[in-house]
A and B are shown apart, each in its own frame.
Chain A
Amino acid sequence: GQQVMQIPQYQHVQEGEDFTTYCNSSTTLSNIQWYKQRPGGHPVFLIQLVKSGEVKKQKRLTFQFGEAKKNSSLHITATQTTDVGTYFCAQGSIYSGGSNYKLTFGKGTLLTVNP
C-alpha cells in the first residue's frame, strides 16, 4: 500500500488554541480518511475525502484534500480538552483485481490540550 507520512508526531496546545496535523504522500492518493483515537480507546472514523481540493467541515474540524491529491490536513479551531487523542490519516486502496481492500495508516499525531 501507499505510504502516508504524518506530521507532527506530537502537539501540545493550550485550550482555545488551534491545531493542525498534516498527511503527505509522494504519490497520488485515491482517497484519504481521518480517524480519532482517544487515550485507551479504539480508532473512530471522522471523514473521508476523495476529490481534488475537497474541503469538509465538522463543527470546529476542517478537513482538506490537496489539489494534487498528495496531501491532506485536519485543522481544529479553538481546541477543547475533549479533542485530546491521536489523529490518524489513512489511505484506502483496492488491490488484487478488486477482491481485496487495505487501509494504510499514518503514524498519527498525538494532541494534548492544557486546560
Chain B
Amino acid sequence: SAVISQKPSRDICQRGTSLTIQCQVDSQVTMMFWYRQQPGQSLTLIATANQGSEATYESGFVIDKFPISRPNLTFSTLTVSNMSPEDSSIYLCSVMVSYNEQFFGPGTRLTVL
C-alpha cells in the first residue's frame, strides 16, 4: 500500500494566476499520475509523472498549461497555469504500486474566481 498526502487541500484563486499542488508519497513508487475530477463527474487522467524525464500528457492536456515536476520517486508537483473558472475542479494524484491497484491522494479542491 501507499499513503499519499497533497498540499494544499483546497484553494480559492483569481483567474490568471497559477497554483502548484504538491504530492508526497510515503514510499518510493515508479508510476505517479495526476487526475482531474469535476464535481459529480468521473476521473480524467491529465498526465503520468515520470521521474527523470518529461511527463506524458493525455489528449487535451498540454505542458504549458499543466507543467509537472517529478524530482524523485516520492514527490511530484502539478501546476495549473493561467487559471480560468473552467479549471475549478478537484485534482488528485495517485500512485501505482503494482499493476493491480492505484492509491489516490485526498485531492486538492480548486476554485477559480
Contact = CB atoms under 8 A, between A and B. Distances in A.
Interface of A: 33, 41-45, 48, 88, 92, 94, 96, 100-108, 110
B104 A107 contact: no
Contacts of A48: 100-101
A64 to B, nearest CB: 18
Given A103-B45, A110-B40, 4 more contacts: A42-B106, A48-B101, A101-B48, A103-B102
Size range of the interface on B?
20 to 34
B110 to A, nearest CB: 15
Contact of A101 (B31, B104, B105): B31
A100 B104 CA distance: 18
Interface string B24-58: 00000001010000001111110010000000101
Contacts of B104: 42-44
24 contacts: A33-B101, A41-B106, A42-B92, A42-B105, A42-B106, A42-B107, A44-B104, A45-B102, A48-B100, A48-B101, A94-B99, A96-B56, A100-B48, A100-B56, A101-B48, A101-B96, A102-B48, A102-B58, A103-B33, A103-B102, A105-B42, A105-B43, A105-B44, A106-B42
A95 B11 CA distance: 35
A33 B102 CA distance: 10
Interface of B: 31, 33, 40-45, 48, 56, 58, 92, 96, 99-107
Contacts of B43: 43, 88, 105
Given A100-B56, A101-B31, A101-B48, A45 B103 contact: yes
A92 B99 contact: yes
Nearest to A6: B42
Nearest to A42: B104
Contacts of B41: 107
B99 A101 contact: yes
Contacts of A88: 42-43
